[in-house]
Amino acid sequence: MTVAIIDYGSGNLRSAAKAFESLTNEPIVVTNDAAVVARADRVVLPGVGAFADCRAGVVGLDGMMEALTDAVITRGRPFLGICVGMQLMATRGLEHGQQDGFNWIPGEVVAIDSADPHLKIPHMGWNNLNVTQPHRVLAGLDSKEDDAVDPHCYFVHGYHLAPDESSHVLASVDYGGTITAAVGRDNMIGTQFHPEKSQAAGLRLISNFLAWKP
């Protein structure tokens, strides 16, 4: 089993790769090679920075969008999008002008909007997940479960994904209103938080993802 972590020149992929490596003996490949992604058994799209930059980074890699679509949509490989990698699953993003996303999860990525002028933006730090739909990859992160880990996860973002269909929302957090924390359908899941930075809860999620057979 090969896990491909897509490297499109953004941010810190080492910590994501290290978190995956700590949980499996299978090869974890950090790659910008579309052919590697096309052959991978699982695909992870991390992302930090702005929506448009991340999108340009992915689209700018030769054949990457086609490989990603083939692996995730055509062949149904398990996919995990992290932070902006999750936001790219949306129809479009509204950060610094309108940009198209992958349109896998219909909806828009919009600024965190609150009536509270004291609410700090970005939403940065640890917030507790409310799992709204049980999901294999979120097993153990729902405080209602008996064997749940501490449900706090690490967030840093100023925009969030507002899906058109509530059935695509798997978890949320409260921050001046309800913020989407995880989305998913079929073989794909996305987390607004950083599992690779979320200690026990994050490692549990990554472990679940590595075992997931959608």
Partner 1 sequence: MLKARVIPCLDVKDGRVVKGVNFVDLRDAGDPVEQARLYDKAGADELCFLDITASHENRDTIYDVVACTAEQCFMPLTVGGGVRVTEDIRKLLLAGADKVSINTAAIHRPEFVSEASQRFGAQCIVVAIDAKQTAPGKWEIFTHGGRNETGLDAVDWAKRMEGNGAGEILLTSMDRDGTKSGFDIELTRAIADNLRIPVIASGGVGTLDHMVAGIRDGHATAVLAASIFHFGEFSIAETKAHMVAAGVPVRL
**Contact string (CB under 8 A) for partner 1, positions 130-149, x = contact:** --------------------
Decide: is 32 part of the binding site for partner 1 (CB under 8 A).
no
Please give the Cα distance from 92 to 83 (Å, whole number): 15
83 an active-site residue?
Answer: yes
Among 162, 185, 182, CA closest to 82: 182
Residue 205, judged by CB atoms within 10 A of its CB (0-12, 13-18, 19+), counts as buried
Which is it for strands 79-82 and 28-31: parallel, antiparallel or unpaired? unpaired
Of 54, 83, 160, 168, which residue is the catalytic one? 83
DSSP 62: T
Decide: is 56 part of the binding site for partner 1 (CB under 8 A).
no
Cα-Cα end-to-end distance for the chain: 15
CB of 123 to partner 1, least distance (A): 7
Decide: is 50 part of the binding site for partner 1 (CB under 8 A).
yes
CB of 23 to partner 1, least distance (A): 10
Decide: is 156 part of the binding site for partner 1 (CB under 8 A).
yes
Of 152, 160, 168, 194, which residue is the catalytic one? 194
Q: Using CB under 8 A, which of 27, 113, 120, 177 touches partner 1?
A: 120
122: how many CB neighbours lie within 10 A of its CB? 11
Residues 6+ apart with CB under 8 A from 149: 140, 141, 200, 201, 204
100 versus 174: smaller Cβ distance to partner 1 = 174
168 versus 194: smaller Cβ distance to partner 1 = 194
Cβ–Cβ < 8 Å for 132, 171:
yes
Decide: is 157 part of the binding site for partner 1 (CB under 8 A).
yes
CB of 66 to partner 1, least distance (A): 26
Decide: is 160 part of the binding site for partner 1 (CB under 8 A).
no
Q: Using CB under 8 A, which of 42, 55, 77, 152 touches partner 1?
A: 152
Decide: is 60 part of the binding site for partner 1 (CB under 8 A).
no
Cβ–Cβ < 8 Å for 193, 204:
no
Active-site residues, by number, are 83, 194, 196
